[in-house]
């Protein structure tokens, strides 16, 4: 039996309207509804009903339904369609050897605060615990791999909420959980969590309220540059 035979009918990537909605996108739609209520375009009951629907919406397409009859939606055009981050790093982008090793054997180890994240980080939790907090880290590279091995131990990874997050590992009698995250900014770092949890756990998720500030700085610089060019300066 050929266990490696590929699916002859691979699934196509989801359309933009089928992508999972982020909290930022829900907030954007809620703001439009709030303005429509203030302008008298929606009654209080209509506003409440739509906001409730926004909170329940799962995809970008479901969100757009609630504003398609409002002028703001047509002025802004369709909601931004973000290209999802690749499932795996670009070939050759990540070195074979780690830039940093975080090891906990019958102990605990932590990387947190304002530190510089390399392209490859290895985390080993053997009868111990490792915490890797990237929420305030400096990203010199767009693609970062955190290779995690938890053997009767736990590896906990936290990232800023405006990066993309992907999981590539698995568990053997253990738990390997990565909260997939898509950033709306094309230049945002992508954190790939790889490895194995053997009778242990690997968990990666965003830390709410934490963002990579330099992404916002780069975006503002682009806006300022475009404005200066438009004004002829």
Express each pLDDT in 52-105 by its tens digit.
998 888 888 888 889 888 886 665 544 444 567 788 898 888 999 999 999 999
Element (H, E) at 155: strand 154-160
Cα(151)–Cα(71) distance, rounded to whole angstroms? Answer: 56
Cα(183)–Cα(23) distance, rounded to whole angstroms? Answer: 11
Length of the chain measured in residues:
233
Split at pLDDT 50, 70, 90, the class of 6 is very low
State pLDDT tens for residues 163-222: 999 999 999 999 999 998 888 777 889 999 999 999 999 999 999 888 886 664 554 555
CA 81 to chain CA centroid, Å, is 15
State pLDDT tens for residues 21-64: 887 788 888 888 888 888 888 998 899 999 999 888 888 888 88
Please tell me whether residue 121 adopts helix, strand or coil conformation: strand
What are the residues whose beta carbons fall under 8 Å from the beta carbon of 166, sequence distance 6 or more?
85, 86, 87, 88, 178, 180, 190, 191, 192, 193
CB atoms within 10 A of CB 108: 12
Q: What is the pLDDT of residue 73?
A: 66
Confirm if 120 and 94 have CB atoms less than 8 A apart. Answer: yes
Please identify which residue in the block is written with the tokens 């955190």: 146
With both helix axes pointing from N to C terminus, report the angle between 23-38 and 44-56 in degrees, rounded to the nearest 10. 170
């Amino acid at each position: 039996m050929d266990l490696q035979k590929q699916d002859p009918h691979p699934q196509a990537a989801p359309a933009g309207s089928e992508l999972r909605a982020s909290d930022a996108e829900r907030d954007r739609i809620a703001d439009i509804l709030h303005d429509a209520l203030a302008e008298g375009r929606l009654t209080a009951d209509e506003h409440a009903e739509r906001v409730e629907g926004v909170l329940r919406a799962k995809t970008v397409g479901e969100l757009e339904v609630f504003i398609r009859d409002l002028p703001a939606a047509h002025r802004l055009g369709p909601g931004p369609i973000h290209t999802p981050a690749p499932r795996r790093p670009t070939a050759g982008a990540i070195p074979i050897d780690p830039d940093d090793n975080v090891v906990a054997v019958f102990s605990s180890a932590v990387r947190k605060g304002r530190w510089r994240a390399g392209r490859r980080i290895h985390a080993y939790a053997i009868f111990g615990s490792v915490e890797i907090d990237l929420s305030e880290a400096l990203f010199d590279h767009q693609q970062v791999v955190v290779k995690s091995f938890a053997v009767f131990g736990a590896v906990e990874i936290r990232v800023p909420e405006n990066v993309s997050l992907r999981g590539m590992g698995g568990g053997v009698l253990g738990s390997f959980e990565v909260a997939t995250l898509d950033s709306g900014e094309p230049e945002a770092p992508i954190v790939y969590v790889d490895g194995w949890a053997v009778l242990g756990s690997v968990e990666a998720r965003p830390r709410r309220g934490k963002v990579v500030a330099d992404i916002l700085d780069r975006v503002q610089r682009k806006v300022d540059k475009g404005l200066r060019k438009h004004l002829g300066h």
